[in-house]
A and B are shown apart, each in its own frame.
Chain A
Amino acid sequence: GAVVSQHPSWVICKSGTSVKIECRSLDFQATTMFWYRQFPKQSLMLMATSNEGSKATYEQGVEKDKFLINHASLTLSTLTVTSAHPEDSSFYICSGPYGGGREQYFGPGTRLTVT
Chain B
Amino acid sequence: EDQVTQSPEALRLQEGESSSLNCSYTVSGLRGLFWYRQDPGKGPEFLFTLYSAGEEKEKERLKATLTKKESFLHITAPKPEDSATYLCAVLDSGGSYIPTFGRGTSLIVHP
**Interface residue ranges, A against B (CB under 8 Å):** 1, 4, 6, 32, 34, 41-44, 46, 49, 91, 93, 95, 97, 101-109, 111
Q: How many angstroms from the CA of A49 to the CA of B95 in the assembled complex?
A: 14
Q: Which residues on A sit within 8 Å (CB–CB) of B91?
A: 101, 104
Q: Which residues on B sit within 8 Å (CB–CB) of A6?
A: 43
Q: What is the distance, in angstroms, from B45's C-beta to the closest C-beta of chain A?
A: 7
Of the candidates A6, A32, A44, A105, the one having the most CB atoms from chain B within 10 angstroms of its own CB is A44
Q: Which residues on B sit within 8 Å (CB–CB) of A1?
A: 46
Residues 18 to 71 of chain B near chain A (Cβ within 8 Å): 31-32, 34, 36, 41-46, 49, 51
Let me know if B78 is at the binding interface, CB within 8 A: no
Assuming the contacts A34-B98, A44-B87, A101-B91, asked whether A106 and B45 have C-beta atoms less than 8 A apart, the reply is yes
Q: Which residues on A sit within 8 Å (CB–CB) of B97?
A: 32, 97, 101, 104
The contact string, 1 if C-beta is below 8 Å from chain A, for chain B 7-22, is: 0000000000000000
Q: How many angstroms from the CA of A44 to the CA of B38 in the assembled complex?
A: 11
Asked if residues A102 and B46 are in contact (CB atoms below 8 Å), the reply is no
Assuming the contacts A43-B102, A44-B101, asked whether A105 and B87 have C-beta atoms less than 8 A apart, the reply is no
